[in-house]
Homo-oligomer: A and B are copies of this chain.
């Protein structure tokens, strides 16, 4: 994997890069739509590609439980199994395990209950890597402990040191040379812990770095702070991935602070509950005021949904409980995110990222 930094913004830390992977080239900053079970929710791979997606994310935890990495490997790996020929990133399962109610996390790894069979499952750095090697994504993630928020300093420090030991173990466990393993910076909201974690990881020399644990309830102000004091410790010539983020405003603030890659279930999850993104903020399409609204979701949008259907029609689909409502809304929301990323890239190239961000947010936050 090769990362090239094409341009740095003069006024902010925003960066414009190119990441070459075995399954294709990714222009950064980029948003990665999430296909948890080796499938985007309510979209075919062709529709995902049409939204402008360059790379998608899938979840190791879910695929390990069902259908199991062995079956995916037998199918020829994740790309072949799900018919997505572009780049894929898999997370390590750390975040999902952390979200479970009955997990038990030790020095060695995490124990939890299989949500289908009820059996106890054990995940540790070596197994997380082995699973991700069987799945075969282009970018794989280190197994980390995602720290709950809020969290006291003592636990955060202890946990961050464990994440570092696990990162080392992940590196050692890696056998495939065609997958790029990213290290994950933890440290909760403590600046010195984030700095320590970043520095130690950089010592280990990963091909890319992620900031984890910022999508678990801190809010935009803390997110900005964490990114602001963590990103400078990450090497300039490596991609930087902010995990699980976020809303358009979160992404803009994080690009400004030097982040390159993002993923989030928000565009597809919101779509299924009729919340659509537009340049004038989010709209709730089930609202009665859209019953006779014969405009597209977003008049300037070029997605399949906006080129062909009206708000009135999609409002009707949601009312009638038609699956097509989720399909069209998902296409639009994912396209909205990826179009925003394309605009961000163009703005950085043309040296006007700060203006773009201001103008976007003025319109977006006023309308919301």
A residues with CB within 8 A of B:
37-46, 62, 66-67, 71, 74-75, 81-83, 291-292, 294, 304, 308-310, 312-313, 316-317, 319-320, 322-324, 326-328
Contacts and interface: CB of A to CB of B under 8 A. Distances in A.
- Name the 6 nearest CB pairs between A and B, nearest first: A37-B320, A83-B308, A42-B323, A67-B316, A39-B324, A39-B322
Contacts of A308: 45, 83
Contact of A328 (B44, B67, B320): B44
Q: Copy number of this protein in the oligomer?
A: 2
24 contacts: A37-B320, A39-B322, A39-B324, A40-B324, A41-B323, A41-B324, A42-B323, A42-B324, A43-B324, A66-B319, A66-B320, A67-B312, A67-B319, A71-B292, A71-B316, A74-B292, A75-B294, A75-B310, A75-B312, A81-B310, A81-B312, A81-B313, A82-B313, A83-B309
Contact of A44 (B81, B312, B320, B324): B324
Contacts of A46: 304
Given A39-B324, A74-B292, 5 more contacts: A62-B320, A66-B316, A67-B291, A83-B309, A323-B326
B316 A37 contact: yes
Contact of A323 (B67, B83, B323): B323
